[in-house]
């Protein structure tokens, strides 16, 4: 059985997707459609802009999605297979879940682009700049992390934002609470604890204003049954019911990305191959560390497809 996975924010970089668009018509068409949906030239920012511009949440989210969908469509064309023939399940990290739903035809590429632009803007505006923070805790387990953050709640919100892998947890919330959690973690066996260069504290209770905005937008959109099951970030289990898929995306704004448990789900059902589509190789790196007897493929640039052509 195969998993197709799509990366989340943090995997963006200048130039991503350009080689695919230059070499494959189906990829070029994806970026053109996203530009049209947003009514501005996002690809100019991705390919010619600055790191700050491409990392801006409202740009990074639709841009990463476009790269993932473009890579999927190239893979589908070269292998002459549709999504049901390429994979048994699909999922994505945070915004990558929107990409997974797009290739599974839950909603259109155009709708996804506008949703992610809105999501990025709403998440950015939810918390004043400088008030929130996120930090990566390396070498500590989820239970110990929860103990630590329970002891800093008096200083403000501090939640588990991403439970990424064994010994890799990201916390999110008010900056004073996050900084105190970093301090406490150093006495709890953490190997490394660092503040992340992000513009807002994603996947925590401070994102509730963004959750309200996304709930309204998602409720106005018609969700279709996916071609293959979607593994949800918030449940770490598979879903095909459109109502559940919509609810999962709403809850995802403030909820923990349960990626470690998603990989455990993959292990439990006997996934043999993880295919990462889009920018970077972060998710296949995690899969290699966590899954038994799994092979991986990453498709980002034209050379990644050479052995298939």
Known catalytic residues? 94, 203
Give me the residues paired with residue 122 across strands.
none
CB atoms within 10 A of CB 109: 21
Q: Are 102 and 51 in contact (CB under 8 A)?
A: no
Q: How far apart are CA 87 and CA 258, in angstroms?
A: 21
Please state the separation of Cα 134 from the chain's center in Å.
Answer: 16
Token duo for residue 284: 């296949």
Phi and psi dihedrals of 237, rounded to 5?
A: -140, 170
Bridge partners for 274 per DSSP = 3, 296
Q: How far is it, in rounded angstroms, from Cα 67 to Cα 16?
A: 7
- Rounded to whole angstroms, the Cα distance separating 249 from 241 reads 13
- Site of tokens 């004073």: 176
């Amino acid at each position: 059985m195969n998993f197709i996975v799509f990366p989340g924010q943090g995997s963006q970089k200048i130039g991503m997707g350009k080689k695919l668009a230059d070499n494959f018509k189906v990829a070029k068409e994806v970026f053109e459609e996203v530009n049209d949906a947003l009514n501005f030239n996002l690809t100019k920012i991705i390919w010619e802009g600055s790191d700050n511009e491409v990392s801006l949440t409202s740009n990074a989210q639709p841009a990463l999605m476009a790269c993932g969908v473009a890579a999927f469509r190239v893979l589908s064309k070269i292998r002459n297979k549709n999504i049901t023939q390429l994979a048994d399940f699909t999922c994505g990290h945070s915004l990558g879940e929107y990409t997974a739903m797009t290739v599974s035809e839950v909603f259109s590429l155009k709708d996804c682009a506008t949703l992610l632009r809105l999501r990025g803007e709403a998440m950015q505006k939810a918390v004043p700049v400088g008030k929130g923070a996120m930090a990566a805790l390396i070498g500590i387990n989820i239970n110990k992390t929860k103990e630590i953050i329970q002891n800093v709640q008096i200083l403000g919100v501090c939640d588990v934002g991403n439970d990424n892998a064994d010994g890799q947890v990201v916390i999110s919330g008010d900056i004073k609470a996050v900084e105190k959690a970093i301090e406490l973690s150093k006495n709890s066996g953490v190997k490394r604890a660092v503040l992340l260069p992000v513009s807002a504290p994603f996947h925590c209770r401070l994102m509730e204003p963004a959750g309200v905005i996304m709930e309204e937008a998602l409720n106005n959109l018609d969700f279709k049954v996916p071609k293959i099951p979607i593994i949800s970030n918030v449940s770490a289990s598979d879903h095909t019911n459109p109502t559940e898929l919509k609810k999962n995306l709403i809850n995802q704004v403030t909820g923990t990305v349960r990626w470690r448990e998603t990989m455990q789900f993959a292990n439990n059902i006997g996934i043999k191959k993880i295919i990462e589509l889009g920018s970077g190789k972060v998710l296949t790196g995690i899969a290699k560390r966590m899954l038994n007897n799994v092979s991986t493929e990453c498709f980002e640039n034209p050379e990644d497809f050479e052995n298939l052509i």
